[in-house]
Structure 1
Amino acid sequence: MKKFTGLLLALCVNGFAVQTALAQDEGTALVPLPSLDDFTKGKDGWAFALGGGIEYESAYEGSDEFGFEVDPAGAIQWRKGDNIFYFAGEALGWRGRRDDVWLFEATLGFDEGREEADSDDGRLDGLGDSEEGTEFVLQARRAFNSDWRYWLDGRVVTGDNGSLGIFGVGRRFGEQMDGTGSELALVAVFHDSDRANQDFGITAAQSAASGLNQTNMSSGLRSFGLHYNYRQYLNENWLLFVEGLYERYSSDVSDSPITRNDYEAELGIGVIYIF
């Protein structure tokens, strides 16, 4: 975690900073949090953004293998007042601000599942590919005041592969109101038995095929984590983003034969062009 923090802070204060005046000219975001993409620059109507990034991350949940992955970034958004409708990759959603201190969001997305091939070392051999499925996300954030310096967050993710509950508290750094700056959040993640067994359980058939002990997971605490987000305009159209994640698994998850590491981590950096 020290390496993550050191690199992220170095990027923030040394490599990519631009004048605050440029950022302020970009307009007011629906909610001034770097973790929430808003490409509308404070204007009603359509907004288009396209880019990409490179992530260094765990190969799968519980893996001790790490690798680089190139991912697309950006979204199509339509804003009307305090509401934004968006399509981003495999997610279709809406978010709206209410009374300046509440944010509500609903998203329909897609869970890709896990494949045996995700492990180059063959540690998933015999477990088969987990099922793909749709998932629905409901989120509510409550700021302590209208500048969104501190906030509370609650999310429910439910779908074909089970459900997650995510609860967090966060702090925004910087004075910009355009969604740039940095943000740090502490989160706790809970899963039901369906989701726990989807990711970390081993059935009798999988045990026979893989040689791993049969494991039945129950619902409960999944992990505690730290999430970091950084956004900065490089000029009028180009936006830099940096994201970091560290999650420490609970003892029940760590005891699963699938879990080779008792944590999950990723670090990503990329750019987005706003049309």
Structure 2
Amino acid sequence: MKIRKRLLLTLFICSSAFQVAVAQETQAALVPLPSIDDFSKGKDGWSFGLGVGIEYETAYEGSDEFGLELEPAGGLQWRRGNDVFYWVGEAIGWRGLRADTWLFEALVGFDEGRAENDSKKGYLDGLGESDEGFELVLQSRRAFDSDWRYWLVGRVVTGGNGNLGLFGVGRRFGEKLDGSGSEVNIVAVFHDSEYANKDFGITAEQAAASGLAATNIGGGFRSIGINYNYRHYVSDNWQIYGEALYEHFSSAVRKSPIARGDFEAEVGIGFIYMF
């Protein structure tokens, strides 16, 4: 009888230890959000993911033309505890988790601007090339609890072409804490006049060259948007991800001749292999 009790106790301890190990493994992601790349698998040091995705999206801000585009996916990361430094595409940045419910992020990215040939139908002819440049993005999310089921989000984009800000709320679906599952964010977007005219303004010189009416847009409300993200681990090293975005422009933006559509939208899917 004593041997059986000891055996049962040993099995119980081993089972509990296994459950704890599994629980720790499922919390490997810095935050359990599908929109946040995390290739670290809970380990400090370097990690690397490489993949490819395909997107179906509008050709430029305000366009009513759509097309398919291949995009690289993944990135290089270095993690130490609750801090991750990363290099993804044309952006380099940092994100950090504080007090289990605050996620802060700062990155520098490159804005490729807009070219006349972005419109295959010639709607941008005469408008010239918009300026390329670097942008600073500052973002924070505040979860209502440590499992990141609901949160508030705020983001500021600033650089040589004005300023943009968004504020919204998010909701995570699924029970796993490894970054898989899905999430949805609903946001309101605002811009200053410089940023607004970067995408939708038409100077007198551009109007003369293009035949479009000169347009100057003031700062304020830009759009309301909804974004959906999905991530699933096919195996220990392979993951599939998806994203869908819809942004409906304000009446002030829709008055611009550049805004041939009332919205911007994109849908994408891809695979990433984690080394």
TM-score where L is the length of structure 1: 0.90
Q: Deviations over 1:192-238 (max 9, x none)?
A: 11110000000000000000000001101110010000000111111
Distance 1:94 1:138 in 2: 10
The aligned amino acid for 2:141 is R
Give the equivalent residue in structure 2 for 1:264: 264
Alignment of 1:139-150 (within 5 A): 139-150=139-150
Deviation at 1:168, TM superposition (A): 1.3
Distance 1:224 1:206 in 2: 28
The aligned amino acid for 2:183 is E
The aligned amino acid for 1:196 is A
Deviation at 1:180, TM superposition (A): 0.6
Deviation at 1:24, TM superposition (A): 8.5
Give the equivalent residue in structure 2 for 1:232: 232
Q: Deviations over 1:47-105 (max 9, x none)?
A: 00010100000000100000000000111000000100000011110000000000011
Deviation at 1:189, TM superposition (A): 0.7
Q: Percent of counterpart pairs with the same letter? A: 67
Give the equivalent residue in structure 2 for 1:161: 161
Give the equivalent residue in structure 2 for 1:70: 70
Distance 1:24 1:63 in 2: 46
Residues 26 and 236, structure 1, Cα contact 8 Å, conserved in 2: no
The aligned amino acid for 2:129 is D
Give the equivalent residue in structure 1 for 2:207: 207
Secondary structure at the counterpart of residue 117 of structure 1: helix
Give the equivalent residue in structure 1 for 2:85: 85
Distance 2:146 2:137 in 1: 24
Distance 2:23 2:244 in 1: 22
Residues 23 and 176, structure 1, Cα contact 8 Å, conserved in 2: no
2:118 equivalent to 1:118: yes
Distance 2:151 2:99 in 1: 14
Residues 97 and 104, structure 1, Cα contact 8 Å, conserved in 2: yes
Give the equivalent residue in structure 1 for 2:40: 40
Secondary structure at the counterpart of residue 43 of structure 2: coil
Deviation at 1:27, TM superposition (A): 5.1
Question: Which structure has the bigger radius of gyration?
Answer: 2
Give the equivalent residue in structure 2 for 1:104: 104
> How much is the aligned-residue C-alpha RMSD, in angstroms?
1.3
The aligned amino acid for 1:72 is P
Distance 1:25 1:100 in 2: 17
Deviates more, 1:37-46 or 1:203-212: 37-46
The aligned amino acid for 1:87 is W
CA distance change for structure 1 residues 23 and 164 in 2, over 3 Å: closer, same or farther?
farther
Residues 26 and 177, structure 2, Cα contact 8 Å, conserved in 1: no
Residues 26 and 176, structure 2, Cα contact 8 Å, conserved in 1: no
Give the equivalent residue in structure 1 for 2:196: 196
Distance 2:23 2:136 in 1: 33
Deviation at 1:26, TM superposition (A): 6.1
CA distance change for structure 1 residues 101 and 54 in 2, over 3 Å: closer, same or farther?
same
Residues 45 and 79, structure 2, Cα contact 8 Å, conserved in 1: yes
Deviation at 1:240, TM superposition (A): 0.2
Distance 1:207 1:47 in 2: 49
Secondary structure at the counterpart of residue 246 of structure 1: strand
Name stretches of at least 5 consecutive residues in structure 1 with no aligned partner.
1-21
Q: Deviations over 1:155-180 (max 9, x none)?
A: 10001111110111000000111111
Query: What is the count of residue pairs matched by the alignment?
Result: 254
